[in-house]
Amino acid sequence: MTARLFSFMGGDTGLWQITSMQTHLGEPLPAVRRLDITSNNHDSTPQATWILRGITSNERYVTRTEHDEIVAKQLALGRPELTCAALIALRKNPAWWALSQDERLHIFKEQSQHTRIGLQQFASLPRRLHHCRDLAEPQPFDFMTWFEFTPAEVPTFNLLLAQLRAIPEWQYVEREVELRCVREDNQK
């Protein structure tokens, strides 16, 4: 069965060493040294300082053409050369969630060009979007976004982030915490 439910655990153990934690908006997260990621409720780090969960879901905002382009260009997560990663946890404000689906689509697509910017800047970027509002237990964020890239791709990723933070959609973001990580296969 394909894993859908993911837990991001901040603490002293895990494959990913955290190199920076930046709070862009709202409350910070408690500082931690490492990040562990597990799927389908296999919480391997019960002593974690924090656990953030999210679940993959169906698409809400893409046309068939965009979907096909994404599938054709996006590369898989977990390849050995992808030694850098970013976890960006986001919460949108009540004004966003009070909109109807067609209003959100208009902001996401027509006003913000989120998908177009992503495809133009870094179409191959391995990533996974997790929804948190779809879980039974209330979560501190609405979305957990996970990205993996090579050290050489860091500037491209940074440019993409700067462009996305300037789009109208981001005006609805009320909490955003960004963790940068490097993979350490033989952790101490």
Q: What does the binding site for ligand HEM look like in residue numbers (CB under 6 A)?
A: 59-62, 70, 88, 90, 114-115, 118-119, 122-123, 125, 129, 143, 145, 160-161, 164
Which is nearer to ligand HEM, 11 or 157 (by Cβ)?
157
- Taking the complex as a whole, how short is the minimal distance between the CB of residue 109 and ligand HEM, in angstroms? 9
Instruction: List the beta strands (DSSP E) in the chain.
Output: 5-11, 16-25, 34-39, 50-55, 84-92, 127-131, 143-149, 173-183
Strand-pairing partners, residue 129, are 145
- Taking the complex as a whole, how short is the minimal distance between the CB of residue 164 and ligand HEM, in angstroms? 5
- Taking the complex as a whole, how short is the minimal distance between the CB of residue 53 and ligand HEM, in angstroms? 15
Encode burial over 95-106: b for 16+ CB neighbours within 10 A, e otherwise.
ebeeeeeeebee
Q: Which of 159, 150, 151, 148 is nearest to 126 (CA)?
A: 148
Which is nearer to ligand HEM, 77 or 161 (by Cβ)?
161
Which is nearer to ligand HEM, 113 or 187 (by Cβ)?
113
Which is nearer to ligand HEM, 17 or 96 (by Cβ)?
96
Max Cα separation, the chain? Answer: 49
User: Distance from CA of residue 146 to its chain's centroid?
Assistant: 4
- Taking the complex as a whole, how short is the minimal distance between the CB of residue 136 and ligand HEM, in angstroms? 19
